[in-house]
Chain A
């Protein structure tokens, strides 16, 4: 079973920040938080990952709470092309096992 809980769906206005929450209250000390997204009719795409510090890359920012029991993915300026299902996944660093366990994810709809 997935170790994360996410809202089923969210709406966001184009150009605004999209904040996607994720609860992972049972995360262990050696597990990272990963975010993937799946645009319709495509395979999942890696977005970002982090352990305990906040992370930022060209796609998004990841904010992890101090107790690591929850996190938020931030798309700073959402576009229509960001409409997708976003998956929050916890797993060991590097995914040496590789078996990403996907929950149901959050369906983000960016509206003009």
Chain B
């Protein structure tokens, strides 16, 4: 099973600034995803990041606000740009990997807790 780490684990930022969140996986995976979890809410998919192609964004999320890089099969970054207090959330990275025979399981990182003042 894939083991995922994220940096930073948490941060407090000023409005108008940007934060880049790193996601590192211990194995090579094709599909990586970024989710947002606003306070007290469920998870919402931001974008899918496959190595070698542009990230695919879900409705309501745009590349200018959440640029994503996927330079190789074990690493991705998500940048939250020009932050406002409404961006205060937990941001989670996940990957699709083989968890069991004949089944692709989705594994999640521990998340990055962002607070924007």
Contact = CB atoms under 8 A, between A and B. Distances in A.
Interface of A: 2, 41-46, 49, 87, 93-96, 98-105
A96 B104 contact: yes
A26 B108 CA distance: 27
B33 interface: yes
Interface of B: 4, 31, 33, 41-45, 48, 58, 92, 94, 96, 99, 103-111
A16 B11 CA distance: 39
A49 B33 contact: no
Given A42-B111, A43-B111, A46-B99, A98 B42 contact: no
Max chain B Cβ within 10 angstroms of own Cβ: one of A94, A95, A98, A102: A98
B113 to A, nearest CB: 8
Given A43-B92, A95-B96, A105-B42, A100 B103 contact: no
A46 B106 contact: yes
A94 B48 CA distance: 16
Contacts of B31: 98
A98 B108 contact: no
Nearest to B110: A43
11 contacts: A41-B111, A42-B110, A43-B92, A43-B108, A44-B43, A44-B108, A46-B99, A95-B105, A99-B33, A104-B42, A105-B42
A46 B33 contact: no
Nearest to A91: B106
Contacts of A95: 96, 104-106
Contacts of B110: 42-43
A99 B45 contact: yes
Contact of B103 (A2, A42, A44, A94): A94
Nearest to B30: A98
A94 B100 CA distance: 10
A98 B44 contact: no
B104 A94 contact: yes
Contacts of B4: 43
Max chain B Cβ within 10 angstroms of own Cβ: one of A2, A49, A99, A101: A99
